[in-house]
Amino acid sequence: MKRLSVVVPCCNEESNVRFFYEEFLKNEAFFRENDLTFELIYVDDGSKDKTLEAIKALRAEDERVSYVSFSRNFGKEAAMYAGLQKASGDYVATMDADLQDPPSLLPELYGYLQEGYDCAATRRVTRKGEPAIRSFFARCFYKMINRYSETEIVDGARDYRLMTRQMVDAVLSVKEYNRFSKGIFSWVGFKTKWVEFENVERLHGETKWSFWKLFRYALDGIFSFTAVPLSLVSGLGVFFCVLAFVMILFVVVRALIFGDPTSGWPSMVCIILLVSGVQMLCLGVLGQYLSKTYMEVKERPLYVIREEE
Ligand code: UDP
Ligand code: MG
């Protein structure tokens, strides 16, 4: 008998926890036919509502449900990591609690693993129900990161995927603090089958991703998986050096030939402003990498558990 573990990160999902469980159980016939047992691991990521109570109630009814509860909100990345660590199955799936990742897709995903893939992952083909400006920035992000990073990051990829034990162990061995899962899943490699589906709107509650949170997440991705900002900044530096050199030549030659009238105040101020501005920007970029390095060097745990069962 093979075992399937399903990791469900939850942050303020009190009304979705049970719906998810019920929807998931609709696969029971499939599990029986394929000789599969399962465990459902809810990770309560510092919810402020009754999520934990809802999970405990399920746990009391069904032994196959287990949970990890954090001492505060550590973010979805940490929640997924904790779930993957707790998972003991031969196959492990990660999916959202809000039913945006339909559990009815599991049999299909499982089928691909039987065909020899190490991972079956989902991507949505439409961004229906999403603000236009968000889709626009998302597209730009994927274009830029795929151009400059050696790790491919698929546009529209969701965190809904089914993996073999081998791949999960590989993902767990990547212990970095600044986690960008979409990148890590792709970085570990293995044969991945992409399954496309239409975007579904979330069942209850609201998305936890504001535009700025997403923007910062995108920056995380860029700084974790590319060094482009660094080379861009070096390029900029070279460009300004050359420009300054040409200008100095010009000014000196002009002073020698035409004498030195005291003009050029405003342009001087502009140049100083511009150059110092660029320097600040470059320092900022360096600072980004430094702060990431700083967090990694501290080797803090990714999460703190308050209770688990
Ligand atoms: N989530 C979490 N911690 C967070 C934010 C989100 O565990 O800090 C969970 C959330 O409960 C949900 C999943 O991550 O199960 C996806 O979140 P959401 O639906 O808000 O994101 P979206 O689907 O809009 O991308
Ligand atoms: Mg969602």
Convert the pLDDT of each residue in 119-136 to its tens digit: 999 888 777 667 788 888
Q: Backbone phi, then psi, for 196, in 5-degree steps?
A: -100, 145
CA of 262 to the centre of ligand 2 (A): 64
Whether 292 is in a domain gets the answer yes
Angle, helices 265-298/211-225, rounded to nearest 10 degrees: 80
Based on the fold, state whether residues 213 and 244 are members of the same structural domain: no
Based on the fold, state whether residues 221 and 286 are members of the same structural domain: no
Q: Terminus-to-terminus CA distance in the chain, angstroms?
A: 23
Domain boundary among 226, 254, 289: 226
Based on the fold, state whether residues 198 and 134 are members of the same structural domain: yes
- The number of distinct structural domains making up the chain is 2
Of 85, 67, 88, 60, which Cα lies nearest the Cα of 8? 67
Based on the fold, state whether residues 112 and 214 are members of the same structural domain: yes
Q: What would the pLDDT profile of 43-85 be if each residue is shown by its tens digit?
A: 999 899 889 999 989 889 888 999 999 999 998 889 999 999 9
The residue type of 290 is L
Ligand 1 probe mutation, 8, 10, 11, 207, most atoms within 8 A of CB: 11
What is the span of the domain harbouring residue 74?
2-226
Whether 290 is in a domain gets the answer yes
Whether 21 is in a domain gets the answer yes
According to the per-residue pLDDT averaged within each range, which of 16-20, 252-256, 262-266 is highest?
16-20
Asked whether 73 lines ligand 1 (CB < 6 A), one says: yes
Based on the fold, state whether residues 208 and 239 are members of the same structural domain: no
CA of 9 to the centre of ligand 1 (A): 7
Closest ligand, as measured to the CA of 130: 1
Based on the fold, state whether residues 25 and 166 are members of the same structural domain: yes
Domain boundary among 166, 197, 226: 226
- Give mean pLDDT, residues 100-113: 88
Domain boundary among 194, 226, 258: 226
Based on the fold, state whether residues 113 and 208 are members of the same structural domain: yes
Asked whether 83 lines ligand 1 (CB < 6 A), one says: no
* CA of 79, closest atom in ligand 1: 7
Whether 11 is in a domain gets the answer yes
* CA of 73, closest atom in ligand 1: 8
Whether 293 is in a domain gets the answer yes
Helix (H, G, I), strand (E, B) or coil at 164: strand
Give the per-residue pLDDT at 257.
85
Q: Using DSSP bridges, classify how beta strands 36-44 and 192-197 pair: parallel, antiparallel or unpaired.
A: unpaired
Asked whether 98 lines ligand 1 (CB < 6 A), one says: yes
Based on the fold, state whether residues 20 and 146 are members of the same structural domain: yes
Based on the fold, state whether residues 163 and 213 are members of the same structural domain: yes
Asked whether 13 lines ligand 1 (CB < 6 A), one says: yes
Q: What would the pLDDT profile of 203-248 be if each residue is shown by its tens digit?
A: 777 777 788 888 888 888 888 878 778 778 878 877 887 887 787 7
Q: In Å, how far are 20, 175, 185, 256, 286 from 295, measured between CA atoms?
A: 35, 12, 21, 54, 14
Q: Using DSSP bridges, classify how beta strands 119-124 and 192-197 pair: parallel, antiparallel or unpaired.
A: parallel
Whether 91 is in a domain gets the answer yes
Closest ligand, as measured to the CA of 97: 1
Strand arrangement, sheet containing 2-10: 192-197, 119-124, 157-164, 91-94, 2-10, 36-44, 65-70, 305-308
CA of 283 to the centre of ligand 2 (A): 36
CATH of the domain at 195: 3.90.550.10
Of 38, 190, 175, which Cα lies nearest the Cα of 113? 190
Closest ligand, as measured to the CA of 127: 1
Residue nearest to atom 23 of ligand 1 (CA): 207
- Average pLDDT for the chain: 85
Based on the fold, state whether residues 109 and 242 are members of the same structural domain: no
Based on the fold, state whether residues 118 and 240 are members of the same structural domain: no
Based on the fold, state whether residues 30 and 89 are members of the same structural domain: yes
Of 70, 118, 82, 83, which Cα lies nearest the Cα of 5? 83
Instruction: Considering only CA atoms, give the Rg of the chain.
Output: 25
Torsion of CA 89, 90, 95, 99, to 10 degrees: -80
Q: How far apart are CA 11 and CA 76, in angstroms?
A: 8
Asked whether 44 lines ligand 1 (CB < 6 A), one says: no
- What's the pTM? 0.78
CA of 20 to the centre of ligand 2 (A): 12
Give the per-residue pLDDT at 200.
72
Asked whether 210 lines ligand 1 (CB < 6 A), one says: no
Whether 98 is in a domain gets the answer yes
Residue nearest to atom 18 of ligand 1 (CA): 207
Please answer whether residues 122 and 158 qualify as being in contact, where contact means their C-beta atoms are separated by less than 8 angstroms. yes
133 CB-near residues (< 8 Å, 6+ apart): 211
> Which pLDDT band, with edges at 50, 70 and 90, does 145 fall under?
confident
Q: How far apart are CA 39 and CA 16, in angstroms?
A: 18
Helix (H, G, I), strand (E, B) or coil at 61: helix
Residue nearest to atom 12 of ligand 1 (CA): 96
Please answer whether residues 99 and 16 qualify as being in contact, where contact means their C-beta atoms are separated by less than 8 angstroms. yes
Residue nearest to atom 19 of ligand 1 (CA): 207
Whether 303 is in a domain gets the answer no
Please answer whether residues 4 and 87 qualify as being in contact, where contact means their C-beta atoms are separated by less than 8 angstroms. no
